Structure 1
Amino acid sequence: MHGAQPEKEERVSMELTDEVLKSMEVGMAFRDYNGRITSMDFHKATSYLVTASADESIRLYDIQNALCLKTINSKKYGVDLVCFTSHPTTVIYSSKNGWDESLRLLSLNDNKYLRYFKGHHDRVVSLSLCPCKESFVSGSLDRTVLLWDQRAEKSQGLLRVQGRPAVSYDDQGMVFAIAFGGLIRMFDARKFEKGPFDTYSVGADKSEANVLKFSSDGRLMLLTTMDGHIHILDSFRGNLLSTYNVKSVSSHATLEASFSPDGMYILSGSGDGSVYAWSVRSGKVACWASTDVEPPLIKWAPGSLMFTTGSSELSFWVPDLSKLGSFVGSK
């Protein structure tokens, strides 16, 4: 065991650079899914990853040991989006059965429902949990965004939107944002009922909002849209810093993108199944082609040189250290 320690420390201290990112490839894949992965989330403080899939399963992984710890089936309700609460074995998830749009608080330990959150009347397409309080926000095709407290079944607030909403808290939980119709509206989480304190534009792109995310230092935000655009904005001033383009996605798919932990790189899926990487400073870094035809889900593991993609399988991407020498030599 002790012999393995120094290598691990070395890996952690390895800095993310263009070269390291270019060298990344699938180190391991779980191929035992019987449907596309529809959502995945990393727990911030442990090495746990949770996935939801069209095969109606919720799966818990320990990424440090590359193990699937648990599979729970949600046959009755189906499962679409899933997020960890602060507790590593408790999740909130949305249904996919078309008749019950409640969100559910589920203990993965004993497969028990701890609470139902009733209020939406159509599919929930965006879900974001507050990092520091027991609140969360959900956006639905019923054109509402609801604010919740995990301890109460009824929503604590309702905001109406004109279109499919993408919602996200920032990493401090002070602010949340709602995107639709080419605009991002910024709300103070403590007094959201006063309306947005600022509204940012992403230019002429009025196509449907897909996902909205803040970088972990809170300085940047990204918004993906159905037309295949990934917009990067300064989250304090609201100015549009850059827009990256990939192949557009169909109306039943979601274009997902993710910041690296240092906020310096953006990874994104694409409507042609590829994975793209950009440096926030200098532009495109890499592209990994795929035989898949739908955009993969993509999430960077917090504080780690690893990201995961979800399609009909779950893949763990890590740097190939043997390739790094050749990249450095080719400068």
Structure 2
Amino acid sequence: MASTPMDLDPPDSSPANGTPSTSLNITRTLGSGLPSTSAVTDIIGTYRPTKLFRRDDIKDGRPQPYILSLDYDDPGELLMTSESDETIQIYKTREGRHDKQLLSKKYGVKLAKFTHNSSSIIYASTKQNDAIRYLTTHDNAFIRYFEGHQGPVTCLAMHPGNDDFISCSKDNTVRLWNAGTKNETGVLYLNTPHLAAFDPSGQVFAIGSPSSGTVLIYDHRNFDKAPFAEFDIVEACNSVDAAHTVQGWTKLEFANDGRSILLGTKGAGHFLLDSFTGSLKAHLRKPEGGSNRLAAGEEYTMNGGGSNGANMEGSGDCCFSQDGRFVFGGSKKGVVVWDTLGNPSEKMLDPIHVIEDERPAAVVAVNPRFNFFATADQDLVFWLPDPHA
């Protein structure tokens, strides 16, 4: 494996990034007007696509790759993608520039995530075997492999406070790990446990099992005991979208206050759940319908065809804002925003903002420290508040 830097952000005179540089200077946009620490409620409707990155290293008529996952490091300084051409791309968010490329041609790559050290990452393999790989990005050296899964990994979830993490797989197991040792610290045998998420305290984690229509809540320290809560998604959500209570789940995430769980779907909306009772708070209705991407654990053949990213995996097209109040959702033309404190009508909650862009937002991630977020399909887009809005 070799690390090959490339220039994804051409000089200002180049039109390769799609829009004239006068509207793409991320440093100027951040440095004037609204500071990055403005209250989210004050700027939520002012986000604009501010920086576009397009892979200009693609040669010989090869198709533009699809971005499979997005992840920010803890300080919010770096953004990482895993891509369908078996590369990892890392960007410096505040400077708005590409930093480095890592290759994983031998093993493939998906679901790349930072550990709590910004120069160390984990990711799932797509070739050779189903191991999870742990490497340092400064020298592109493997630290260790986490082996044990006998089927493709469908989700990786990092503990919020240490380097414990959870992996879900199509082999019907959930494995708990610590990055400091190659052996798992525990295994759960469950039916289609395709999604996982830690709560903000790290004391609790949730496992989403689409085929059984349940979200299971575990005590992290006593994971070998039965889950202390079991949420019946069919019962809670059947009235708003029966088709996606047992299939098409794309994301599982706790809000920062720990009171809500976001269950993303490929359907006409996402489920916002009460994290204590499992009841449906609201169905976050999408104006333009569902995502093209494969749901967690979904087979390629279920989507038919391969156009428009329909046979590609993703890390989810929805996520909470930094304060946990709002939800950003990708659409076929830009981003929509829901206010979770809004008043749903018959459990249906429409977006409060529709922020249009010509590019689809198939994958979405929010910066944990600054008022940035990123979306991607084949291109990567940085979004910032407009200080003049």
Give unpaired runs (5+ residues) of structure 2. Answer: 1-27, 57-63, 239-244, 295-310, 343-348
Which aligned pairs between 1:4-19 and structure 2 lie closer than 5 A?
10-17=34-41
Which aligned pairs between 1:248-259 and structure 2 lie closer than 5 A?
248-250=290-292, 251=294, 252=311, 253-254=313-314, 255-259=316-320
Q: Distance in 2 between matches of 1:317 and 1:71?
A: 22
Q: Distance in 1 between matches of 2:33 and 2:255?
A: 25
The one-letter amino acid of 1:311's match is D
Alignment of 1:156 with 2:185, yes or no, is yes
Alignment of 1:213 with 2:274, yes or no, is no
- Deviation string for 1:68-104 (max 9, x for gaps)? 221111111111111110101100001122x311000
1:291 is displaced (CA, Å) by 5.2
1:297 maps to 363
Which aligned pairs between 1:81-160 and structure 2 lie closer than 5 A?
81-97=111-127, 99-160=128-189
Which aligned pairs between 1:1-331 and structure 2 lie closer than 5 A?
10-17=34-41, 20-32=43-55, 34-97=64-127, 99-163=128-192, 165-181=194-210, 182-202=213-233, 203-204=237-238, 205-246=245-286, 247-250=289-292, 251=294, 252=311, 253-254=313-314, 255-270=316-331, 272=332, 274-282=334-342, 283=349, 284-289=351-356, 296-322=362-388, 324=389
Decide whether aligned partners of structure 1 residues 42 and 194 sit closer, same or farther in structure 2, where only a CA change above 3 A counts: same
1:111 is displaced (CA, Å) by 0.5
TM-score w.r.t. structure 1 length?
Answer: 0.88
- Deviation string for 1:201-226 (max 9, x for gaps)? 33222223221011122222101123
Asked if 2 retains the 8 angstrom alpha-carbon contact of 1:222 and 1:233, the reply is yes
1:157 is displaced (CA, Å) by 1.5
The one-letter amino acid of 1:92's match is I
2:16 maps to none
Decide whether aligned partners of structure 1 residues 46 and 298 sit closer, same or farther in structure 2, where only a CA change above 3 A counts: closer
Asked if 1 retains the 8 angstrom alpha-carbon contact of 2:327 and 2:340, the reply is yes
Q: Kindly, what percent of the aligned residue pairs are identical?
A: 29
1:10 is displaced (CA, Å) by 4.7
Whichever structure has more strand as a proportion of its residues is 1
Q: Counterpart of 2:43 in 1: which secondary structure?
A: helix
- Deviation string for 1:97-155 (max 9, x for gaps)? 2x311000010010000010011122211110112122100111222111111122222
- Deviation string for 1:204-258 (max 9, x for gaps)? 2222322101112222210112334311122233322111133233544444211
1:261 is displaced (CA, Å) by 0.6
Matched positions, count: 315
- Deviation string for 1:278-325 (max 9, x for gaps)? 1111241122455556x5110111132211001111110112222x2x
Q: Distance in 2 between matches of 1:13 and 1:269?
A: 23
The one-letter amino acid of 2:35's match is R
Asked if 2 retains the 8 angstrom alpha-carbon contact of 1:146 and 1:155, the reply is yes
Q: Distance in 2 between matches of 1:100 and 1:134?
A: 23
Q: Counterpart of 1:190 in 2: which secondary structure?
A: helix
Q: Distance in 2 between matches of 1:217 and 1:91?
A: 26
Give unpaired runs (5+ residues) of structure 1. Answer: 325-331
